[in-house]
Amino acid sequence: MPKMKTKRAAAKRFKVTGSGRVRRSTAGKQHRMRGKPANRLRRLKKNSMVHPSDEARIKRLLPHEL
């Protein structure tokens, strides 16, 4: 039986929390910040959780994170 490998692209984008939920960073914070208000940029700093309907699919890409 071959080893199960972690998808490295998914490992760089997602982290599994202690309770087992999947955390992701917020989109829209890489470039073009000049046109966005400071309030919006402050909100974008925070991480958010992956929607529960997508969690099972992402956890399959991260077999050793659980």
Q: What are phi and psi of 3, to 5 degrees?
A: -70, 150
8-12 mean pLDDT? 96
Q: H or E stretch including 57? A: helix 52-61
> 46 with 24: CB under 8 angstroms?
no
pLDDT of residue 44: 94
> Under CATH, to which class is 8-61 assigned?
few secondary structures
**Is the pLDDT assigned to residue 66 strictly greater than 80?**
no
pLDDT of residue 65: 86
The pLDDT tens digits of the residues spanning 16-60 come to 999 999 999 999 999 999 999 999 999 999 999 999 999 999 999
Q: How many helices (H) and strands (E) does the chain have?
A: 3, 3
- pTM listed for this prediction: 0.82
